[in-house]
Structure 1
């Protein structure tokens, strides 16, 4: 057995126990989801000019968690008729990023799909954040509300994501039975949250995702989770409470809720979303799943993986017609 095969074996055996039982997880999330269902989405759509004749673009907003309006692009192939219901790919950016320009998503338009490209609240895009700031935070966003999961930034993002799927289902020209979600890093973690929490998701493609094995990540990650580590460095007495709250957003603990097919990728040299975190979640998901390994890649998504994702989406969305 060579070193690559040995490393793969180690990752396949990476199966830490959940840090919360399924009953606690389901009770919390079922309550949050039930409360969200009764709130109007207030979807608005305005045409947006584009220099690219192959796509039709609209600027969309919907009402997210805590009355924050979430902004997005809705993009359709110009060749699609107004009556044609297409698969819709919902996507979120990586940490500190934004949804960018519509042409960023041309590869999905070339597949014949529509796209809902969504900002993450408070980060670089056009979307604000009306979540109350009731205590001090470390620079960045994720320590907001860290001591109270019911009012935390992670909860707000999770519910924004579920409502993005619901908003996509309401958009003209979307087939509500063929909504997939994809993203990388933060976007990959958000995609996994959607797979665990939304009944509408038909497929999940999560590249180098965060939100997996969060306790390990807080100790070892070199990126966003260092904000939580810095907070705990200042307030070590809060460690138990913080880890307990994070556990509700950890895909390791949410893995039992997946039903839609999942594609994940892992870069073995990644120090941001380490393979030990990604595999810890992947190995517990019982839904149909695939993993793409990149032993010589860090925190990145290459063109080969983009092709793998395209084929995965075609398998899941085109065959379900």
Structure 2
């Protein structure tokens, strides 16, 4: 499909979202605030009026005259996120946002028929472009950018997005769809080259693979839906300075799915390649090392 189709699709989606008032509520969260950071529970109205939750963590000091730079943090399939207090202590207003049916947002809305598998959502309504779970999840993340855009203490010309696994895929998608994103840091991203991931039966796509095996009559419609979600097709629209990590051995986000996406990004970019992500990817050596790359990237470009 031509790139123009992609642009029209997401412009239409953003117009749908814009019809829903954000209705942001902000409540101080004293138990997770301290002398260095102030934390708030945020509830926002998103696509179709579904409410989503986020943590908004800011430095305890007064913002600079031009406002703090901001980072939106998006979760992995398992709900893992970069510590918001860590980023706020470094001087970033940090919005840790959970798309509908995930993490804190489960308290507002749950995916119908959720099996409890962290990858269940990959096949949810996959034959319907505007009912597919990730269509709504992308709009939820855009709503997070809307929230940051309303904040007087945020420098809206300095907004970044970051996340790991699912969150990394969401990060790349936000950078492609919304030019408010100036910097993107995607850690071992999923939602990349989805048909290949399905063919390989990579762990993040296993349930989607099984669904398509059980419902071969749905394959054509499913692949058309996934085309609009896949970062392989979105990447050439990314204008943000983008840092990506990937691993030569990775059962969840195979190298062969991520590298073609990275290669298509036309903006200033860099990649950190690790030998093996079969270890615990959300802690340990890979995360410790990549955190330093992330902070350096923010310092240099945000």
Task: Please report the TM-score for the alignment, with normalisation by the length of structure 2.
Answer: 0.90
Give the Cα–Cα distance (whole angstroms) in 1 for the partners of residues 247 and 214 of structure 2: 31
The C-alpha deviation readout for 1:196-249, integer Å capped at 9, x for no partner, is 111211110001001110000112243231111121121122112211211111
Tell which structure's C-alpha radius of gyration is larger. 1
Give the counterpart of 1:107 among 74, 80, 86.
86
Give the Cα–Cα distance (whole angstroms) in 2 for the partners of residues 270 and 99 of structure 1: 19
Matched position secondary structure for 1:259: coil
Q: Against the structure 1 CA distance between its residues 275 and 64, is the aligned structure 2 distance closer, same or farther, given a 3 Å change threshold? A: same
Task: Please report the TM-score for the alignment, with normalisation by the length of structure 1.
Answer: 0.85
Structure 2 unaligned runs (5+)?
none
Q: Over aligned residue pairs, what C-alpha RMSD do you find?
A: 2.3
Higher normalized contact order (CA 8 Å, seq sep 6+, divided by chain length): 1
1:48 corresponds in structure 2 to 29
- Give the stretch that moved more between structures: 291-300 or 181-190: 291-300
2:10 corresponds in structure 1 to 29
Structure 1 unaligned runs (5+)?
1-19
Give the Cα–Cα distance (whole angstroms) in 2 for the partners of residues 87 and 220 of structure 1: 39
2:180 corresponds in structure 1 to 200
Matched position secondary structure for 1:23: helix
Give the Cα–Cα distance (whole angstroms) in 1 for the partners of residues 57 and 41 of structure 2: 9
1:4 corresponds in structure 2 to none
Give the Cα–Cα distance (whole angstroms) in 2 for the partners of residues 179 and 81 of structure 1: 15
The C-alpha deviation readout for 1:252-301, integer Å capped at 9, x for no partner, is 11122111111101011111001111111111111111111112333724
Which runs of structure 1 show a deviation greater than 4 angstroms over 4 or more consecutive aligned residues?
81-84, 128-133, 135-139
Alpha-carbon contact 2:204-2:253 (below 8 Å) kept: no
Q: Could you tell me how far 1:190 is from its partner in structure 2?
A: 0.6
Q: Against the structure 1 CA distance between its residues 314 and 132, is the aligned structure 2 distance closer, same or farther, given a 3 Å change threshold? A: closer
Aligned length: 294
Q: Against the structure 1 CA distance between its residues 310 and 242, is the aligned structure 2 distance closer, same or farther, given a 3 Å change threshold? A: same
Q: Against the structure 1 CA distance between its residues 117 and 142, is the aligned structure 2 distance closer, same or farther, given a 3 Å change threshold? A: same
Give the Cα–Cα distance (whole angstroms) in 1 for the partners of residues 47 and 17 of structure 2: 8
Alpha-carbon contact 2:100-2:110 (below 8 Å) kept: no
